[in-house]
Amino acid sequence: MKAVKKIASVIADWKSDPRLSRLEEPLLRQAVALRLLSLLGWDIFNVEEVQPDYRTGGGTVAFALCLDGLPRLLFDVRRETGTLEAVHAALLEGAARTGAELALHTDGRRWWAFLPGAGGSAAEALVFRRDLAQDPADQLAAEFAALLGREQLVSGAFLAAAEQLHRERRRARVLEALPAAWGRLLAAPDPRLVELLTAATEASCGSAPKRAWVEEFLRGRAAPAGARPAEIVFQRDFEGETGRDPEVPSAARDDGEINRRKPEFFSGQTVRAFSLRGRTVAVQSWEELLVRLCQEFAAAHPQDFEKVLWMNDGGPPRFSRYSDQLKIPEKIRKTAIYVETRLAPEEIVRTAIDLLKSFGYGLDELILTTGPAEEPGRGAAG
């Protein structure tokens, strides 16, 4: 933990140093690469483990991180002399020749990590692309520690971390492409989709709709041209059948018992909205409330939001940097942290209380609009 905080501090210094973009490769190796490796537990003077100017059989890379005489990771520090595609293709070819399991490239400001074992092109093997000017220092520090730390290479954990990041990137790309693909499918309905919906409608009401009705229905639900995935998700999640936004309560009613109710009270309740420091947000489920609340805290406290990783009540983790550690993870926007959403309402309320306390909020600064599940109504809780 101390190492990650130190690295985050160093990265913050790099972010504000205009010289970084002007340094030549030899200086970048010393000022950036070797300093980072030193902070991550490597003896940078041990040339058997940190081998400079490592020959790959078709070229050289700045460093190879070796254990037991074998290169485990290739780390290249290179300004663009041609195209990035050529630089990355050569790096992956070098990894294939030497058997290195991970490959990293930086030009000082931008960073790329690749998983050679994923096969295919550099785009398919890409684990991440990071930018010192844009990405949070604590996120970069945690990822560098997970992929480049000496202990992680010795244990093999670096490869598991890289594979997890690679899976997350692939999933994100697929999810980003889905709305547009779905929109195209609805805009020009496939006959098989029309037949499926026709049969399902007939089974539901006893009458088969005309084909033109089904096609019109599907086209009416196509995404607007040029809509971003986030806009499509918003429409799907929050718009009613009329196309209007749901009613957002201006504030939840305080019934005088807000500080006396235990989290167990909310078992069997539904939630319609929450108000944090006067800002009211409509939600449709407890899970959505948890994710949106986390997003509010992450936006308000970007520098120390990672403290949620150490919120522990002795049970399974509620927050993690690795989605496979959670049952139903949801990534918190603009962070590298996931939150567990497979929680009962009372557990979500406990988590909300922990968030309030962790970031110095009073319990009266969060108001929930809730009601009985069988007969939704209004109530207040916090």
- How confident is the model over 76-109, as pLDDT tens digits? 999 877 788 899 999 999 999 999 999 999 999 9
- Residue 246: pLDDT band by 50, 70, 90 thresholds? very low
CA 209, CA 197: separation in Å to the nearest integer? Answer: 9
Residue identified by tokens 């790959």 is: 56
User: Is the per-residue pLDDT at 234 higher than 60?
Assistant: no
Instruction: Identify the CATH number of the domain defined by range 263-381.
Output: 1.20.1380.10
Q: Which residues of 196-219 are buried (b: 16+ CB within 10 A; e: fewer)?
A: ebbeebeeeeeeebeeeebbeebe
What pLDDT does 338 receive? 94
| Helix, strand counts (H, E) of the chain | 13, 13
pLDDT on residue 373: 66
Query: What pLDDT sits at residue 220?
Result: 77
Q: What is the pLDDT of residue 1?
A: 57
Average confidence (pLDDT) over 134-141: 90
Quick: pLDDT tens for 254-295.
332 334 567 888 888 888 888 888 888 889 899 999 999 999
In the chain, % of residues over pLDDT 90: 47
Which residues, 6+ apart, have CB-to-CB distance to 193 below 8 Å?
A: 185, 218
**Residue 380 clears pLDDT 50, i.e. is over it:** no
> What pLDDT shows up at residue 50?
97
So what's the pLDDT on residue 216? 84
pLDDT at residue 178 in the model: 82
User: What pLDDT, on the 0 to 100 scale, is given for residue 260?
Assistant: 52
Which whole number is the average pLDDT over 184-213? Answer: 88
**Per mean pLDDT, which range of 28-42, 109-123, 229-243, 254-268 is the poorest?**
229-243
Determine which of 51-60, 95-104, 344-353, 360-369 has the lowest per-residue pLDDT on average. 360-369
Neighbouring residues of 367: CB distance < 8 A, sequence distance ≥ 6: 251, 252, 254, 258, 274, 275, 380, 381, 382
Q: Is the pLDDT of residue 141 over 80?
A: yes
Domain ranges for the chain, please list them: 2-155, 169-233, 263-381
**What is the average pLDDT value for the chain, to the nearest integer?**
83
Residue 196: how many CA atoms within 13 Å on its side-chain side?
Answer: 6
pLDDT of residue 252: 38
Q: Which of 357, 381, 359 is nearest to 370 (CA)?
A: 381
The band of 348, judged by pLDDT with boundaries at 50, 70 and 90, is very high
Q: 150-184, pLDDT tens digit by residue?
A: 999 999 999 999 999 999 888 888 887 888 888 88
CATH 3.90.1570 at 2-155, yes or no: yes
